[in-house]
Each structure stands twice: as C-alpha cells, then as structure tokens.
Chains A and B, each alone.
Chain A
Amino acid sequence: MSRTFKLLTLLMVLAMVLAACPASAPAAPAAEAPAAADATAAPEPEAPAASEDVITLEFWHAMSGNLNELVDELTARFNESQDGIVVNATFQGSYDDNYNALLASFETGGEPNIIQNFDIASQTMFDTGRLLPAYEMGDLEGFDFDIFVPAVRDFYSDENGMVAMAFNSSTPILYYNVDMFAAAGVEMPEGSMNFTEFRALCDEIMAADVAPYCFTFGQVGWYFEQILANSGGLYFNENNGRTGRATEAVFNSEKGVEVFTFLTDLIKDGYAPNLSSTWTETDSTFQTQQAAFMIDSTSDVSIIQNSEFAVKTAFIPHADSSDRNGVVIGGAALWLIDSGDAAINQASWDFMKFMAQPEQQITWHTGSGYFPVRTDLADNPELQAFWAENPNFVTAIEQLGTTKTMLDDGNVNYAVLGGRAGPFPAIRQIVVQAYSRVLDDGLSAQEALDEAVEKANEELSNYNSFFQ
C-alpha cells in the first residue's frame, strides 16, 4: 500500500510537471496549435477537383459578438457575388490574439491570406516582410486611394502610398446620459471641453447628486494616447515614428504629464470609479446609471444608444494648455499577406476592395458605429436619412473630419497621425500599469510616466536591434 501510493503520487507529480511544460513553457508550440489546425482544416485550393478554378482564401479577424455577425454577413455577400473565390472568415479573438496568431503562423506556416490587424500593429506588419502593400496591387489597376477619408489614408500610408486597405476605423467619443444631465440642470458643451471645463461640469453633476459618479473610463492605453494627441502631444520621437524608426518614447513630456494627471485625478478625486483596465465594466457602470458620462469607442454606438435612457455623444476633451487638435484613427485595417501566388494575391485584393465598397461600408457603419472610410459616402442619401435619425453616429465622423491634420505653420501635425513603433502593443500595456503606480503606489504622474518611458525605451531598443 505504502509503496504503491508513493509511486502513484510521484508519477502524478511527474505527469503534472511535464504536462505543465507544454501548457505554459514553450510559448511557440502552444501558439502553433490554432494556426496548424487552421492549416489542416483549410481546404487546399486545388482540393475541389470539379471546380479547379475556385480559390479559397483565409480571412482572420478580431470582431466579436454582433460585429462578428456583420463580418460573416459581408463575407457571405462577397462569396455570393462571384464564383471564382470562396473566403473563409475566422474569428481569432481579440486584436492582440489575432496579431499574435499571425506572428506565430509566420513561424509555422498556415498564415491567412487577409488579416484584420489593429492600428498600432502597423510597424510590425511592415517589418515582417511578408506583407504585400495595398499600393502595389492598386497601382497595377489604377485603383484610386483618394476615395478614402484623408486621415484614414494617411494613417495607413508610408512614403509610397497606402499599405493596408481601410476597413473599420474608430475613434473614442464621450457618451452621456441625457436624462441625468437634464436632472442635474447641465448641458454638454458643443465641441471639445478642456480639462478645467470638464472638471467644472463634473462638479455640477456631483453637486446635483444624480449619480454616485460623474464619469467612468477604463484604464486602457488608448484613451491616454487619444487625449494626448487631442492636446497636440507626441508619443514617440522621430515625429511619432513617422519620419524615421522611433527609438524613444516621449509621452512623459509636460503635455503627457498634464493628460495623465487629469485622468488619474478623476479617480483620486472621486469623479470616476477605479475600474482598473477594462472595456466592459465602464459600460455596466454607465448603463446601470452609476455614472453620468463615459468615454468609449464609437464602434459601440449601436449598442450603447439602446440603453434604457436617452444617450447622446460628444467630442473627447483636451488639455488646458493647448487647443483641440483632434483624434488619431483607431480600429483596424485589412492587410494582404503575400502568398507567393499572383492569382491568390489578386483574389485577396478583390476581396479587400469589395469590403471597402459603398454598400458594404454602409452596412458596416450603420450596424456598428465604425465610421465609413470613404469620402463619397458623405452625401449618400441612404446614410443622410440614417444620420438624421441617428445623430449619435455623426459625432465620430465630425470629430475626425475637424481634426487638425496641418499645423498653423503649414507643417504636418504628427500628433494626430498617431504613434508608429514596432513594440507599440507592449508599450500600451506599460502605460496601463502606470495607472496603478499612481493610484496604488502613490507616485506622481511625472514619476509614473518617467518609469513607463524607461520601460518603453527598453522595448524599443530590444525590438529595433533586429533591424540594424
């Protein structure tokens, strides 16, 4: 009994330790699993012998819930529109998951033909060397990239033109509870508030005691980036990494500290609850009427405006020390992964063009809140009628449309072009941790950002060392 039991226990330990290793240890093999599964599941292009002309494409995206259904609808529409190409759309999880699945698939094979990749992954996408820039495909057939909203076009461009196909673009906006504002006797000002006006508004709402909190926001990196850009502050050196490879983060500037102080003080002073890093708890706080307004992506308009109370939308705030600059394009774009086969690349390109066509963009915009990426939709009668009924969808379009892309001195306003750096996804996470350094560990905003910049610079030099 004794010996058997010892032996069994020892075996169990060994089994668990060993089992632990593949689960947690070798990062790469674990990541291979989904990619490899996809590769085997995907029917080979030449598999259906009867119709040898059919090309099957793999399209990976990161749209969940109602957005996932929309993507499936658009993909089905494409598949029905012609006979030669079948697109398989696969939901891969969050933007981060999708991005990491792609990077893993480059190591193991089984990469998709088209991938929806988020804003801040741009530099890495260039660096993979596996990308087929959109301008190369477009130039072959004289595709006109000027149909896209300039801010979107510029965001996804390098010196040769657009590298990715615009698809789902978003910006953050303020959502406010109209009933609560009326009860408190306050009005949301037109345009963008500065920090002082913002706090004054909150003082009135708190004094009226209509809700436990005035405002609510998740401590994600995106809002800091956006409000910093709106205040004209840069994130990286080399003009936000737009005129050269970024080597240093610069968001611990005076402007950055002003923005970060504002955000952390909202929590410290009791205007906003401390919800840590989240995209969902803010919605539950706002929709259960525990806070009078919040900041969230425009991509959720269609859901949030269906709250039990009236909801309106407004521009995000900016620093006292500067005028409003505008917002950086968020969301994601479609990237073409070079398959090495001209016919397949052409098919992928056809699908990307299809997704940017007016009909698809209208379905997409009205179903989600991501704004239409085409300029020619501004006076589309169908959308005009929709906007008249749903003014909340217009805020994001106007917020972007009035973004100051040129400075008064005639130079490009790099702040609103947004940062571009290889390890941006990791740096965003570092900023998330800076919140806790202020709120829990009592550091000043300056100290927390200095520390974050130091870590960010380490990430940058580590990443850049592969490209020298």
Chain B
Amino acid sequence: MNQAVSTSISQPTPAQRAALARRRTLWRAIEGYLYLAPTLIGLAVFVFWPIVESFKLSLNRIAPFGNQQIFVGLGNYTRLLTSSDYWNSVRVTLLFVLGTVPTGIILSVLLAILLAYPLGKMASVHRTLIFVPVVISSAVAGVLFRWLYHPVVGYINYWLVSLGLFDSMGDAPNWLASTQWALFAVIVATTWRQLGFNVIIALAGVQNIDSSFYDAAKVDGANAWQRIRHVTLPLLSPTLFFLFIINVIYSFQAFGEIHILTAGGPGQATTTMVYSIFYDAFVGTPQRGIASAQAYMLALMVVFMSFVQFAGINRRVHYQ
C-alpha cells in the first residue's frame, strides 16, 4: 500500500503511463456505454425482448387466455401462406401503399414549391393550415371523415348531389360501405392527414436549395418549369428519397384511420396486414400465435422493401 502511494507520487515510468492510458481508454469506452445505457435498457425491455417473445408466440397455437400453448413449429406460417384471407390482406396493403405514397409525395412537393414563394404575410397562415391535420389524432380524423362519408347524411354526397353529379344521395357512391369505394375512401383520409408532415419535410428541402443554382439557371435562360425540372427536383432527390421511405413504412403500418373508418370492412376490403394482425390478436377470440406470425411476415416484408429501395433507388439520388 505504502509502496503504491510512493510510486504514484514519483515520476511514472513509461509502463505505468501506458497502463494509465489503457485505463483511460477503457474507462472512456465504459463511459460511452453508460451514456447509452438508458436507451439500450429501454430498447431491450420494450423492443428486443418483445421481438424474441413474439417469435416464440408465432411458433405456437395459444389458447385465448394463454394458459395453454401447443407447439406447431412453422404451422402458423404455412397456414398463413395457404390462406386466401392472408393474401387478400397483402393485396390490400400493397394497394393502400400504392394509393397513399405517390399521391402524398407528389402533392406535398407541389405544395412545397408553392409555399416556398411566400405571399407576404399569408405564408405562415398557409403553412399552418396545411400542417394542422398532422396534429389531429388519427381517431379524430377518422370520426370526422365518417361523418363526411355518411351515405345518408354525409356532406360529401350532399355536395355531389348539389353539384348535380348524382340525382339523389342513394345514387352517389357509398364510400365506406361498398367494397368498391371503401379502400379509396380510406386512402384519401390517410393521405390528407399525412400531407402536412410531408409538406414540412419537402418545404425544408426546397428552401435548402441555394438560390445561386436558380440564378445560374436563369442566366442560362431556363423558364420556371425548366428550373423546377432541372434544378429543384434533382437537388430535392435526397428529400424525396427520405419521404418515400418514411411514407412507405408509415403506410405499411397505417392503422388509426382504418380502424375508425371501416374496421377492415366491408367484408375484408380494407383489412391490411396490420389490421389483420390487430384483428387476430385483439378482436373476437384472440389468436396470438397466428397474429405474431403475421407480424413477423410484415416485418420481413418491410425490411426487404427497404433494402430494395436502398439498392435500387439510391443510385439515382443526387446528393449536393
């Protein structure tokens, strides 16, 4: 003990200095993990552990109150792959994604370009108006749209009849109760609510483009459309790519509007993969095993899509 104190007071030898340095690096590494610990522990408890647990669930048939599990291996997965209801939910999901993502992005870019040229003091008013739907919860938006879509007393059909497009409310489309229109109606409601978020991101992208590019284009004699086509869009491509990925994932997971508007119906016309998971896990008689299997299929699909997106589209993205 004494010796240790005396040596530490005296000049450190090179070996001691190296040990000290090692300790310091070690401590720095530990320190880093300590800072991360709150997040890692949170993720482990609320994300990683459930991921493992739900995989175990997906290999079993589970009694509704969980006191009995029958191991079926991949039985739940083969049951899914041979079920027409499951493939219907895949089809509905893809249609839903195709319906919401391109329209949402095109609309948001158009709006962002318009909003980027501020009309005096109205600019912030316009931006607020467009952003408001994002703040509304999907449940509230769903209830609002239910009223708008109501076949007997709803505003949309009332307006369509007033405009003379239909003779009576009965002739106008039954938006939520017919398999023909239900998915479209849900897509419109979802796109509307998601639009504000997309516009904010797109607007940030548009405003980030240095005005010198436009000046240069103008000097070269480019008109407004050419400036958008050859300056704005290429320089906006990282933002578009980001929006695309975020929107695809969001659409794959859309739930609130569907639950409130149609509850997956009529029939199974709006039962997406996520809704089908919810339905099997929480509606009627719970079947946690098959629901977990569906969740895994969905996760695989989203991961796969993301890889395709990175591999396929990333090359066309122009980073400044």
Contact = CB atoms under 8 A, between A and B. Distances in A.
Which residue, B279, B284, B298, B314, has most C-beta atoms of chain A within 10 A?
Answer: B284
Contacts of B176: 276
A437 B265 CA distance: 11
A106 to B, nearest CB: 5
Which residue, B51, B57, B281, has most C-beta atoms of chain A within 10 A?
Answer: B281
Interface string B185-222: 00000000000000000000000000000000000000
B286 interface: yes
A79 interface: no
B150 interface: yes
Contacts, number: 208
Nearest to A124: B64
A124 B282 CA distance: 15
Contact of B178 (A26, A270, A274, A277): A274
B262 A28 contact: no
A335 interface: no
Contact of A436 (B68, B179, B246): B179
A31 B282 contact: yes
Which residue, B50, B245, B263, has most C-beta atoms of chain A within 10 A?
Answer: B50
B269 A436 contact: yes
For chain A, the bracket of interface size reads: 35 or more
Nearest to B56: A26
B253 A20 contact: yes
Interface string A255-273: 0000000000000001001
A103 B67 CA distance: 10
Interface residues of B, number: 72
Contacts of B169: 212
Interface in B284-320: 284-288, 291-292, 295-296, 298-299, 302-303, 306, 310, 314, 319-320
Tell me the interface secondary structure of chain A in the complex.
helix
Contacts of A41: none
A222 to B, nearest CB: 14
A124 B286 CA distance: 11
Given A25-B277, A26-B57, A440-B178, 5 more contacts: A17-B303, A128-B65, A219-B266, A276-B265, A277-B263
3 nearest A-B pairs in the assembled complex, by CB-CB distance: A426-B284, A25-B295, A26-B54
7 contacts: A2-B319, A10-B310, A18-B43, A24-B278, A31-B281, A277-B263, A465-B70
Interface of B: 43, 46-47, 50-51, 53-54, 57, 61, 63-68, 70, 146, 150-153, 168-170, 174, 176-180, 238, 241-242, 245-246, 249, 252-253, 255, 262-263, 265-269, 274, 277-288, 291-292, 295-296, 298-299, 302-303, 306, 310, 314, 319-320
